[in-house]
Homo-oligomer: A and B are copies of this chain.
Amino acid sequence: MRCLPFLAVLALGVCRAQPPDDSLPATSNVMNAQYPRIHSDLRITFRVTAPGAQKVQVQPGGADSGLGKGPYDMVRDDKGVWSVTIPPAVPGFHYYWLLVDGFAANDPSSETWFGYGKPTSAVEVPEKGVDLYDAKDVPHGDVRVHWYRSKTTGLWRHAYVYTPPGYDTGRTRYPVLYLQHGAGEDETGWTRQGRANLILDNLIAAGKAIPMLVVMETGYAVKPGTVPVASTTGPVRNPNAFEQVIVDDLIPMIDATYRTLTDRSHRAMAGLSMGGQQTLQITSAHLDRFAWIGSFSAPIRNFDAKTSNNGVFADPPAFNKKVRLLWIGAGTAEEGMHQGAQTMHEALDKVGVKNVFFESQGTSHEWQTWRRDLHEFAPLLFR
């Protein structure tokens, strides 16, 4: 096999010839890029042109990635094209990058998504028979980027707002789900990586979820004059500033700008990983604002039903009366997160705090877990 010159677009540095097997280009590739390719058994072949490099590797993102641990050494041919085929991957969306002589570089064949605090390559591995996050022939909602000035930070921010099909033509008011990304990601994560808009489109079309707005914001904020916390995975922040942004700035702006139902029984918050932690923290402190709570793979350590989250679970009947849904989700392949979620679930069951424990079978600390969370969580909301 060789790369035909007119197809081997030099500017892209990508060989675009077809390999003689059953593999297909990943849907996460930039338009027309032929690699990475997914084989029918979910092995993945990566390929990159780097004639001047001494060593090129594929590095999966995260310790418990669905791509295995890596790094995987690529093999150079006589033209300087490096390739490797890795063992079958877990279905889902997996961040990765190349190590070119040790330098962490994105794969020029891949789109980028904001993860690890910067634009990062990823590969979408299809799950057989699963179409819950595909674009189907159903009405689609819009995703709106809405700019607003935060009084808390003094800066412009933008919220991503999903409006369900029919929003523009009707007069209905809608409940709102505030949905947060994880550490190192941003407000684009839930639509770009998570496909939240398509999941909602499909659920609403099937009559499985009540039409709702979904508001997605950056989970970072710094108050003027404060010293932010350094982070290993993303932008600096001070956690209380985001709490203040969402309660004092974002919710009032959304309720003033969109046709929303503004009482607490029509407002939910959920988030993944850091966003799950923020959800538990913020909803616990503001049960006057939220009646529906979703923790997707939040890091939960040393959970104590009496004292955790400022003692919000200490009076189970009072909590049960106020909170219509407390969802605790985790993937069974997640290191640490699953154990923490299960411990919280069992401790709450024991003291009589109603909660739903959701286990995503075989998936790790990755978007496939959270797509499944959202797909099962959203239908329970606002009933």
Contacts and interface: CB of A to CB of B under 8 A. Distances in A.
Nearest to A143: B145
Contacts of A53: 100-103
Given A51-B102, A100-B105, A117-B11, A235 B140 contact: no
A226 interface: no
A146 B104 CA distance: 34
Given A10-B232, A30-B117, A168-B258, 18 more contacts: A11-B117, A11-B184, A11-B233, A12-B116, A12-B117, A13-B103, A30-B118, A30-B119, A31-B236, A32-B117, A48-B103, A53-B100, A106-B119, A111-B119, A143-B145, A144-B144, A145-B145, A147-B197
A112 interface: yes
Nearest to A97: B108
Contacts of A235: 30-32
Interface in A114-130: 116-119
A380 interface: no
B140 A148 contact: yes
A231 B33 CA distance: 12
Interface of A: 6-7, 9-13, 30-33, 48, 50-55, 100-106, 108-109, 111-112, 116-119, 135, 137, 140, 142-149, 156, 161, 168, 184, 191, 197, 220, 230-236, 257-258
Contacts of A13: 103-104
29 contacts: A7-B230, A9-B230, A10-B232, A11-B117, A11-B184, A11-B233, A13-B103, A13-B104, A31-B117, A32-B117, A50-B103, A51-B102, A52-B55, A52-B101, A53-B100, A53-B101, A53-B102, A100-B103, A101-B101, A104-B108, A105-B105, A106-B119, A111-B118, A135-B156, A137-B149, A140-B148, A142-B146, A143-B145, A145-B145
Contacts of A191: 145
Contacts of A234: 31
Nearest to A54: B101
Nearest to A112: B119
